Amino acid sequence: MNPEPIKKLRGDHCINIFISYDLKKRINALAQKYDRTMADIVRMLMRVGIPIMEGLSRAEEEMMKDYIQLFRKMRQVKEIKDI
């Protein structure tokens, strides 16, 4: 049961995004400061940023789950008091 090999198509791994002029200016400044290309800076930001974003999303999901459980418990307590 080997996973199906990834078919690599030319250009399929490329993405185009629109960013603000300010963000582009900041990326360009980093590239010049560290003698890298803008593409290298963007790749590194994505490598670092994706795990951070995944962690934040997991934390947000956990907080929402805990909040819903707390809300349900509070509602049950209120219903018991009203009886």
Over residues 6-13, mean pLDDT: 75
Q: pLDDT band at residue 24, thresholds of 50, 70 and 90?
A: very high
CA–CA separation, 40 and 15 (whole Å): 14
pLDDT value of residue 76: 85
What pTM, to 2 d.p., does this model score? 0.64
- Are the C-beta atoms of 68 and 60 separated by less than 8 Å? no
**First-to-last CA distance in the chain?**
59
14, pLDDT greater than 90: no
pLDDT value of residue 20: 97
1, pLDDT greater than 70: no
Question: Which distant-in-sequence residues (6+ apart) come within 8 Å of 30 by Cβ?
Answer: 36, 41
